[in-house]
Amino acid sequence: MKMTFRWYGDADPVKLEYIRQIPGMYGIVSAVYDVPVGDVWPVANIMALKQKIEAQGLKFEVIESVPVHEDIKLGKPGREQLVANYAQTLKNLAQCGLKVVCYNFMPVFDWTRTTLEKKLEDGSSTLAFEVETVNQIDPAQGIQLPGWDASYKPEALKALLAEYNAIGEEQLWKNLAWFLERVIPVAEQAGIKMAIHPDDPPRPIFGLPRIVKNRQDLERLLAIVDSPANGLTLCSGSLGADCHNDIAAMVREFAGRGRIHFAHMRNVRNNEAGDFYETSHRSADGSLDMAEIMRAYFDAGFEGYVRPDHGRMIWGETGKPGYGLYDRALGAVYLNGLWEGIAKEAAATQGSAQ
């Protein structure tokens, strides 16, 4: 298991020199943020980022994310050039020594929360989602939620929502298949492993189709192009927002088949209605048994990349909600501690059996 940490570049208030001080930290997960979506990432830009990270003694082997252009998701004319650009970006990343690319196929926006600052009893704040709040929003009147890109003007957003409503889930599946059938062979040849991130939250909202939300969806996706290069970013928090998803079972199945290339470790407190809020990584604080999830990875022989996902904002820290240093650093140490304990227990059991 290789422990990594998300970093947003020079604008990130969390400095690389702080991240390297977290015990057991292997590397950084980042991206090139100054190239428009759909354009090719130049080798020079990738190398500049890589050199900055490696100068701090950290590895740079995982990209999160190379965004998929909306025209590809919608199956619009012009997608051929966009997918050719995407393929060239993968080749450039491989040339620079990158090994895993996290991406998603979520329509319009990567994630949705109804608040970024839910106050918890201990005084910390966290990201949360309430179904009733979303249900009361009329998309025709505009959507004002944290995480929804303000670059879309109301009329443009309404038009985009209408386009997705017209294609539905099955057409979105077909558009994803079209993308994978062209990109995965390139990734395989380049030595890149593609790792799709599940929908967050894992359910339809505002009429937008959602197609990567449960075990059946993951199985269907992997079967589109049955290649080790077609894999998963298994996000425990995204999938765990649906209390019917058994995360440990998914880990045992898909990591056991070598198809999980990147693990996002996040705990949430969820309910049957679909409401959830993000907690510390500790099993006792959320609805997910993080110790059992880590054991599932260990039992599956997982040797891939892990990162502590969103954390609470604690100790007066300010900045990008969910991406402060302190709680994610605590999460990384907690996860490494779980892994070490499981490994020692396994070694002791094996020793006594001999």
In 48-124 the beta strands, taken as DSSP E runs, fall at 59-64, 100-103, 115-119
Active site residues per annotation: 197, 235, 264, 309-310, 323
Token code pair at residue 337: 């501690």
State how far the Cα of 35 lies from the Cα of 38, in Å rounded to an integer: 8
Distant-in-sequence contacts of 248-251, Cβ < 8 A, 24+ apart: 248/289, 248/292, 248/293, 248/295, 248/296, 249/215, 249/296, 250/215, 250/218, 251/293, 251/296, 251/297, 251/300, 251/302
Q: CA distances (Å), 115 to each of 62, 119, 213, 268, in order?
A: 29, 10, 21, 14
Q: How far is Cα of residue 284 from the mean position of the Cα atoms in its chain?
A: 23
What are the residues whose beta carbons fall under 8 Å from the beta carbon of 47, sequence distance 6 or more? Answer: 96
Which phi and psi angles does 3 have, rounded to 5°?
A: -80, 130
**Which structure tokens are listed for 239?**
């999938």
Q: What are phi and psi of 208, to 5 degrees?
A: -75, 130
